[in-house]
Amino acid sequence: MTSILKISNLEKSYTSGSKKLTVLEDINFSITEKETFSIVGPSGSGKTTLLGICAGLDKPDSGTVTLNGTVLSSLSEDERAALRNKHVGFVFQDFQLLATLTALENIAIPLELQGSKNALTKAKTLLEKVGLGDRGNHYPSQLSGGEQQRVALARAFANDPKILFADEPTGNLDAETGEKVVELLFELNKELGTTLVLVTHDMDLAKKTQNILTIKGGKIVSLTNAAHV
């Protein structure tokens, strides 16, 4: 199987006053195409930092990130942004929808950035897939948390990403709503053949993925097949 994400000898630290705080240390793993993969660990273990580096939103101090065959450190900021627009989808805990745009317009944005001629038509199809076909003209403030996250899911899949990064996608939702969003996330992921990388503190959610990477204090503790957890 082809590797879509390869992380080699990754290190990341921050300076706080005169202290150096190591956030990630000697991180190595790879993810194959269409794999579902979760990153788990306690708060402050470096999960979100690792996800940001994997997606090219942040840079490591050393080590390499190879995403879809491209070494990210070899790209300029603009080139990394172009790579994300083309191949990467994101789902965040706090939805990150644009308040001044309708649900439909929020989904159409990644498509318009790519210069798609039928952005709104595709956005409508995705909105129907997430069960919100009748809410396209509603603004985020007029939608519940679960509905906003479903719009965010549709937006994440809009550009047919090769890989989707989800950071605590159910963190702001009640258990029942969260379960429905997760179901939808895995359904769309399977249907569209996307690679899914999920950051979560919820082991039940992590067990729905094929492999689980556990990090603690910025180091890998284990990488296990979810079937054996």
pLDDT, tens digit, for every residue of 27-49? 999 999 999 999 999 888 889 89
Residue 9, pLDDT above cutoff 70: yes
For the chain, what percent of residues have pLDDT higher than 70? 98
67: tokens are 């995403």
pLDDT for res 193: 92
Name the pTM for this structure. 0.90
- The residues near 49 (Cβ < 8 Å, ≥ 6 apart) are 12, 23, 24, 58
Mean pLDDT, rounded, of the chain: 90
User: How many Cβ atoms from other residues are within 10 Å of residue 36's Cβ?
Assistant: 21
pLDDT of residue 221: 93
Is the model's pLDDT at 17 over the cut of 90? Answer: no
Q: What is the pLDDT of residues 149-200, one digit of tens each?
A: 899 999 999 988 999 999 988 888 888 888 888 899 999 999 999 999 999 9
How does residue 228 score in pLDDT terms, banded at 50, 70 and 90? low
Run of H or E residues at 77: helix 77-87
Delimit the domains of the chain by residue range.
Answer: 3-228
Give the per-residue pLDDT at 207. Answer: 93
Amino acid (one-letter) located at 85:
N
66: CB partners within 8 A, 6+ apart: 3, 5, 6, 7, 8, 72
C-alpha distance from residue 189 to each of 35, 135, 160, 222, 229 (Å): 10, 22, 10, 25, 22
Give the residue from 46, 154, 36, 172 showing the smallest Cα distance to 102. 154
Please give the average per-residue pLDDT across 57-67, as a whole number.
Answer: 93
Assess whether pLDDT exceeds 90 at residue 95: no
Nearest of 94, 56, 93 to residue 202 by alpha carbon: 93
Whether 132 has a pLDDT exceeding 80, the answer reads yes
Describe the crossing of helices 145-157 and 103-113 by its angle, rounded to 10 degrees. Answer: 20
Strand partners, 28: none
Question: Cβ neighbours of residue 224 under 8 Å, at least 6 residues apart?
Answer: 211, 212, 214
CATH tag for 3-228 (out of 3.40.1440.10, 2.40.128.720, 3.40.190.10, 3.40.50.300): 3.40.50.300
* Residue position matching structure tokens 């989800």: 166
Q: In the predicted model, what is the mean pLDDT of residues 68-76?
A: 91
92-116 average pLDDT score: 88
pLDDT tier, 229 (very low <50, low <70, confident <90, very high otherwise): low
- Residue 158: both structure tokens together: 């809009």
Query: Does 83 have pLDDT greater than 70?
Result: yes
Query: pLDDT band at 112, cuts 50/70/90?
Result: confident
pLDDT grade for 226, boundaries at 50, 70 and 90: low
* Cβ-proximal residues to 43 (8 Å cutoff; 6+ apart), any chain: 201
